[in-house]
Amino acid sequence: MQESAIRDEEIEILLNDLLELYGYDFTNYSKASIKRRINRLYSLDKFPSFAEFRYHLRNDAPYSKRFVEQITVNVTEMFRDPGFYKALREQVFPHLGTYPFIRIWLAGCSTGEEAYSVAIVLKELNLFDKSLLYATDINPEVLEKAEKGMFPLSQMKQYSENYILSGGKHEFSSYYSANYNLAKFDESLRSKMIFSTHNLVSDHSFNQFQLILCRNVLIYFDKDLQAKVFNLFDQSLENLGFLALGTKETLRFSSIASNFRQLNSEKIWRKV
């Protein structure tokens, strides 16, 4: 293993280019992770030098899209952390079920696995018809994938296990049809999803929600940016609404913490 080819100062230069020319602000992302992603892309695309890498980023707009897609992490799973989905099913949705209309925001939804998982839970609780799921991400490319609702068939065994552990009572395979190596999820699940680009760094609140899920996104942000995004979530949540974070993320040290109360051991907070 070589020392990172693209050094810290060069990372700063690239991130400044990205901001200046394309309006994407990654300057408040955690450095170690972004450095690794950029170096990974640099070797993946076999650039001979930093200068050439930078030239492409600056002068080739389609490449800037690839750059943004590759330096962000888009790994996700259906029913990841079954205990979390169990808490949604048993502790969050029963509260939201009393509302005439449920608006949910999945911020940083990536390729949509989480949106489809939530939709399945809502269906099983007979809440789906009065729900609307806003799934947003910084990358238009992952949203296109999310809209298709097709995931690798090879993952279904794992997802099915997760689903059962999360309290799912049905046959998981009843939600998709196998199509070569892909599992195509029931079209009706998509009928209540709205996909849109949204940049947590620069875009504002766009609605009021009863539940916001933003899992494994904040770990990539520095403390200042985390604080900013927590404020955005606070503004976008109705009173008594719920905020769900990733298993290793916490609201505890944020300035909005006093407005929220945590639910048991899961990373779910209720605005009080």
Partner 1 sequence: MAESINKSRIDLLVIGGSAGSLEVILKAFPQLTTDLPFAIILVLHRKQNTDTTLIDLLSAKTKITVIEANEKELIKAGCIYVAPADYHLLIENDHTLSLDYSEKVNFSRPCIDITFQTAAETYKDRLACLLMSGASADGVEGLELVKTLQGITAVQDPKTAEVSYMPQKALDKMEVDYIVETDKVFDFINMLAKSSELTA
Contact residues for partner 1, defined by CB under 8 A: 1-4, 8, 30-33, 36-37, 73, 75, 216, 219-220, 223, 246-249
DSSP 3-state of 251: coil
Closer residue to partner 1 (CB): 122 or 201 = 201
Q: Closest separation between CB of residue 11 and partner 1, Å?
A: 11
Q: Closest separation between CB of residue 208 and partner 1, Å?
A: 29
Tell me the Ramachandran region of residue 167: left when phi exceeds 0, alpha when psi lies from -120 to 50, beta otherwise. Answer: left
Q: How many CB atoms lie within 10 A of CB 78?
A: 26
The whole-angstrom separation of Cα 92 and Cα 89 is: 6
Q: Closest separation between CB of residue 87 and partner 1, Å?
A: 15
Closer residue to partner 1 (CB): 73 or 153 = 73
The whole-angstrom separation of Cα 258 and Cα 272 is: 9
Closer residue to partner 1 (CB): 70 or 205 = 70
Closer residue to partner 1 (CB): 77 or 147 = 77
Say if residue 178 is exposed, middle or buried (CB neighbours under 10 Å; 0-12, 13-18, 19+): exposed
Closer residue to partner 1 (CB): 145 or 271 = 145
Q: Closest separation between CB of residue 212 and partner 1, Å?
A: 19
Residues 6+ apart with CB under 8 A from 43: 5
Q: Closest separation between CB of residue 219 and partner 1, Å?
A: 5
179, 174, 108, 102: which is closest to 148 by C-alpha? 179
